Amino acid sequence: MIATQSYSKTDEIAMNEDAILHIRDNLRIPMRELTFRASRSSGPGGQHVNRSETRVELLWDVRNSPSLSKTQRYRIEQHLASRIDKDGVLHLVSGERRSQWQNKQAVIERFVHLLREATTPRKRRLPTKPSEAARERRLRKKRRRSEIKKTRGKVTPGEE
């Protein structure tokens, strides 16, 4: 009996060094810009976890990447600042699965997702003014609060 296995787009990318990750229409990252390191993963797994290097770390040099425009580089550095070291290298880690292959796929998917988020242009906030009714409600509330505070104070012995 022959077992068939379905492959996703990430499977093809993880296997092919010449592949290109399509982040957006104007942003494509070649796989050769990414570096992967494997190490021993923590967590359950018995002896398997002590012998296998299944944890995968993705490294990408944001500062020197030729694939980025100045705007994209700035947005990525601002949005992912906590994941970028002082040398401008982005670090992502995946170690939740028991296979190095699956962890590599997971870290690539997370990388693509994070870059899409980081390079999405933010909508400009349009300043608005409060309505006349809202302004009136606020002032009424302030007057009421002021009256409550005015009634507070020292009670003299003959006032009770």
CATH (domain of 85)? 3.30.160.20
Q: Is residue 158 a part of any domain in this protein?
A: no
**Is the separation of the CB atoms in 15 and 7 below 8 Å?**
no
pLDDT digits 0-9 by tens, 31-57: 999 999 888 777 666 666 667 778 899
Q: Is the pTM of this model over 0.75?
A: no
105 closest CA partner among 115, 95, 90 = 95
Q: Where are the beta strands (DSSP E) in the chain?
A: 20-24, 27-30, 34-39, 55-61, 89-94
Strand pairing class (55-61; 27-30):
unpaired
Q: Is residue 155 a part of any domain in this protein?
A: no
pLDDT digits 0-9 by tens, 110-148: 999 999 999 988 899 999 999 999 999 999 999 999 999
CA 55 to chain CA centroid, Å, is 20
Number of domains in the chain: 1
Domain containing residue 89:
9-119
Q: Is residue 32 a part of any domain in this protein?
A: yes
